[in-house]
Amino acid sequence: MVIEMVIAGVCVIGLFAALGLVLVLMERRVAAWIQIRLGPNRVGPKGMLQSLADTVKLLVKEGMTPNGADKFLFNFAPFIAMMVAMLLMAPIAFAKDFQLWDLNIGVLYFSAISSIMVISILMAGWASNNKYSLMGAMRSGAQIVSYELSAGLSILAVVILTGSLNLNEIIQSQADGWWIFKGHIPVIIAFIIFIIAVTAETNRAPFDLAEAESELTAGFHTEYSGMKFALFFLAEYINVFIVCAIGATLFLGGWMPFHIGHWEAFNHVMDYIPSSLWFFGKTFFLIFLIMWFRWTFPRLRIDQLLNLEWKYLLPISMFNILLVTLMAILGWHF
């Protein structure tokens, strides 16, 4: 038992490091190409080692704590961000029969734990004793609390159709087609709302008001430097990965290969592609989608942000839930 835990822990930390390096590089590359630039191209072949060099730089930097800060909370906040990210890794099914923790309320667990994220941001903003940090943290609080509603409701659409909160059962229910295809327009709407809401929940542009570097210097992590800053930075990317993994699991079938109804021959061919490839392929597709948003849309103002949630996303997703329920009762999906 203990050995299993240690192995799992090492794997998760290894995955974190790898994901951090890959996603940061990917983000910079996507950003560059969208802005008709080349992106990092100095360190290593085609700039592949750039994020490694940045990590080393951050590691050797001094992690300062401001004099006026609440020392304990200030130093503790980045670790909460990390812990939340680690906990969220538990229920994700990376491949067929490859999951850290197969619990029967996986979806609920995900929504519950991901809300703790905001505590680390609030903590960091408050403890920094800096008006920019505090403002960023408060914005982030308002933002995450409101967008969690529509994220939850859009997840619920799939839960209604499957009748289960277990991520494995949700994946199994997509063996004859992913929900995004089986669920008609309501699930597509739910998917769009899910993507918008999780972009907001992970504090990424166009919803990066917590950071808003043009108004708030760096928002809630203005006072952080060195490795403590790196932890926040890493947590952001891990969270993007996690929400995309959950999105892929719920709407795109997780590790389930692309199957069409009862075309046995076609389905068999698809099964030859390893399930982990399917999972990572879908997840990285969603990550690309979120990065694409970031480099296309301008940042919203706080009132626009709340408008979007309360006047558009929430009413639409509530109506959508009704539709999905009707669909599930009448059996209008394949």
- Reduce the DSSP state of residue 2 to 3 states and report it: helix
Of the two residues 104 and 304, which places its CB atom closer to another protein in the complex? 304
307 binds another protein per the rule CB under 8 A: yes
Shortest distance, CB of residue 36 to another protein, whole angstroms? 5
Sign of CA dihedral 102, 104, 107, 113: negative
Query: Mind giving me the DSSP string for 221-290?
Result: GTT--HHHHHHHHHHHHHHHHHHHHHHHHHHS-TT-----TT-HHHHHHHHTS-HHHHHHHHHHHHHHHH
Shortest distance, CB of residue 205 to another protein, whole angstroms? 13
* Residues 27-66, mask of contacts with another protein (x by CB under 8 A): ---x--xxxxxx----------------------------
Segment lying near another protein (by CB under 8 A), choices 63-71, 150-158, 213-221, 306-314:
306-314
Angle at 286 between CA 94 and CA 158, to 5 degrees: 75
Instruction: Number of residues interacting with another protein: please give it, by CB under 8 A.
Output: 21
Shortest distance, CB of residue 289 to another protein, whole angstroms? 9
For residue 314, report the phi and psi dihedrals to the nearest 5 degrees.
Answer: -65, -50
Q: How far apart are CA 58 and CA 61, in angstroms?
A: 5
Of the two residues 215 and 271, which places its CB atom closer to another protein in the complex? 215
316 binds another protein per the rule CB under 8 A: yes
Among 190, 188, 185, 184, residue whose Cα is nearest residue 153: 190
Shortest distance, CB of residue 61 to another protein, whole angstroms? 27
Q: Which residues bind another protein (CB under 8 A)?
A: 30, 33-38, 292-293, 295-297, 300-301, 303-304, 307-308, 311-312, 316
